[in-house]
Structure 1
Amino acid sequence: MNLKRNYMRYALVVLALIGLQSCKEKKESKAAEESVAVVEDTDGFVEIFDGKTLDNWEGDPNYWRVENGNLVGEVTPSTLLQNNTFIVWKGGQPSDFELKLEFRIAEAGNSGINYRSEKIDTIPYALRGYQADIDGKIRYTGQNYEEKKRATLAYRGEKAIITSQENPDTPGSLRANVAKNAWQSREVIESLGDSDELKTKIKSEDWNEAHLIIKGNKLQHYINGVLMSEVIDDDTVNRASSGFLGVQVHVGPPMKVEYRNIQLKNL
């Protein structure tokens, strides 16, 4: 009987020790997970839209608002545009950076993410410069289009080198070097994939993630983790190395575009 009682006591002690070890392992695992989370939270990206207000952003309140945590741009039948209008981040003029955000756009919508851009004095809330194009019909989403300047620099699926026009001092030569809405002094040096095939990676009227990696003269536009276009801008006359960041609503029919989780990392 004593032997049996001692065995039971021994078994209980062993079970207790196993339970303590299990708790310890769970705590260590949780601590490791929290450590990873801290690393992910300190990877250099900073939220530049708080999801509650338009603080640190400047745009026409007739077109921009915060709704359900999203930055919303909307054109209605009573607010049709004469010129494209932007909401501009007031926190600086980034040079080399990464930008991550999510967007959702109506089928009739036309928008874009402008960067390294300049303000136009003669048009309220207007930007001129590089744009990661976005549209609801997914004809242009992912391409690099330079707003009010050199027009298309790289279509979706292209890696292109951009150079100056032959006579940069000729009056009006900037627009003279644009034909069929594209800059003529450009060379496609590599295919990133068929445009229609890449289009299948972009969700219609649903949330997509855009990731811009802008460093030196290399401008990369990713959608949902897929490289959609890349520009090597060797045009020393017209390229920009820094400038304003903003998002757009475009002239055209009534439309709605939403942005959220806007994060910036300076490189």
Structure 2
Amino acid sequence: MKKKTIALPLLLLGVIFTGCKDQKETNEDQDNPEIEANSEELKDEAGLNELSEKEKEEGWELLFDGESTDGWRGYGKDSFPQGWVIEDGALKVQGSGAGEAGGGGDIIYKEEFKDFELSLEWKVSEGGNSGIFYLAQEIDDEPIYTSAPEFQILDNEKHPDARLGKDGNRQSASLYDLIPAEPQNAKPAGEWNKASIIVYRGTVVHSQNGENVVEYHLWTENWKEMVANSKFKDWENFLNAGGDDKKGYIGLQDHGDDVWFRNIKIKQL
């Protein structure tokens, strides 16, 4: 009987100790800001070609769902062109090997945008070349690049454009042939890069892989001078990018090489 009387309090002490320990760990977890931050991060994480709850609240719009070409069409066309396909959740332009002279041609999204932030991911094939156009006008018998600034996409290692132009202004993320991207932080061919373009009341910022690499200001005296000293000097629609309403189309370039685009989303500002 004595032995049993001793065992019961010991058992109760063990239960109490274990319960206190579990409660302490629970309280510590609740008070740990790192755990709370990680939970919030997971909550806001979006899947491929999806918007997170936070992005939806902030007003982001998905321009490509990874499964269809809805909303996209050929520049100067009513339909989506051959030469572009959906591959592994990405919009892919299939290289023709003929540069801008071959393939399906450039594509644009159906809606015009004025002040916005565009975000997407891209990767390029070895030696590949492409671009992202913005504020583009759709003008009969004129290609898209005569009216739209271009965020350059390039394999800097293999494509000769990387060594042409001036001071690297044809390398990846540059304002094509006008302002070089600095720092130049593009990933090699075959790897995904993240691009962002902000247009707000004429101020334009290019970002690449999380760093701002280009900033300039449309329609200013500096812009006019820069264009006047470039190959675009006689292109009135380029000088007046966005037209009278200061808005235009988002376009993706077919330059004859394999290039992939995904996670295309936009927030109007």
TM score, norm. by length of structure 2: 0.68
In the TM superposition, residue 78 of structure 1 has moved relative to its aligned partner by 8.2
**Structure 1 residues 256, 69: CA separation in 2 closer, same or farther (over 3 Å shift)?**
same
The one-letter amino acid paired with 1:230 is E
The answer for the alignment partner of 2:141 in structure 1 is: 122
What secondary structure does 2:173 align onto?
coil
Deviation digits for residues 124-183 of structure 1 (CA, Å, limit 9, x no counterpart): 8877311111112362211113xxxxxx332333xxxxxxxxxxxxxxxxxxxxxxxxxx
Alignment equivalent of 1:255, drawn from 254, 257, 264: 257
The answer for the alignment partner of 1:221 in structure 2 is: 206
In the TM superposition, residue 226 of structure 1 has moved relative to its aligned partner by 2.1
The answer for the alignment partner of 1:56 in structure 2 is: 71
In the TM superposition, residue 80 of structure 1 has moved relative to its aligned partner by 7.0
Determine what percentage of the aligned residue pairs are the same residue: 25
Partners of 1:58 and 1:88 within 8 A in 2: yes
- Asked if 1:203 is matched to 2:187, the reply is yes
The one-letter amino acid paired with 2:207 is Y
In the TM superposition, residue 46 of structure 1 has moved relative to its aligned partner by 2.5
Partners of 1:87 and 1:125 within 8 A in 2: no
Distance 1:245 1:220 in 2: 15
Partners of 2:130 and 2:153 within 8 A in 1: yes
Q: Note the residue ranges of structure 1 that are not aligned, 5 or more in a row.
A: 146-151, 158-197
Alignment equivalent of 1:14, drawn from 13, 17, 31: 17
| Structure 1, 77-86 or 39-48: larger mean CA deviation | 77-86
In the TM superposition, residue 83 of structure 1 has moved relative to its aligned partner by 9.0
| Structure 1, 20-29 or 121-130: larger mean CA deviation | 20-29
**Structure 1 residues 144, 77: CA separation in 2 closer, same or farther (over 3 Å shift)?**
closer
Kindly indicate which of the two structures has a greater share of residues assigned to helix.
2
The answer for the alignment partner of 1:265 in structure 2 is: 267
In the TM superposition, residue 25 of structure 1 has moved relative to its aligned partner by 6.2
**Structure 1 residues 84, 68: CA separation in 2 closer, same or farther (over 3 Å shift)?**
closer
Deviation digits for residues 36-87 of structure 1 (CA, Å, limit 9, x no counterpart): 5346443433321101111111135322110110110122258972599211
Number of matched pairs: 216
Alignment equivalent of 1:143, drawn from 171, 174, 181: 174
Q: Note the residue ranges of structure 2 that are not aligned, 5 or more in a row.
A: 45-52, 75-79, 163-169, 225-238
Kindly indicate which of the two structures has a greater share of residues assigned to strand.
1
**Structure 1 residues 239, 122: CA separation in 2 closer, same or farther (over 3 Å shift)?**
closer
Distance 2:257 2:86 in 1: 16
Alignment equivalent of 2:248, drawn from 234, 243, 265: 243
Partners of 1:153 and 1:231 within 8 A in 2: no
Alignment equivalent of 1:156, drawn from 181, 193, 211: 181
Q: CA RMSD of the aligned region, Å? A: 3.1
TM score, norm. by length of structure 1: 0.69
Distance 1:104 1:78 in 2: 19
What secondary structure does 2:186 align onto?
coil
Partners of 1:117 and 1:128 within 8 A in 2: yes
Distance 1:134 1:211 in 2: 12
| Structure 1, 114-123 or 98-107: larger mean CA deviation | 114-123
Distance 1:34 1:256 in 2: 38
The answer for the alignment partner of 2:227 in structure 1 is: none
Distance 1:83 1:124 in 2: 14
The answer for the alignment partner of 1:181 in structure 2 is: none
Distance 1:123 1:62 in 2: 20
Partners of 2:106 and 2:251 within 8 A in 1: yes
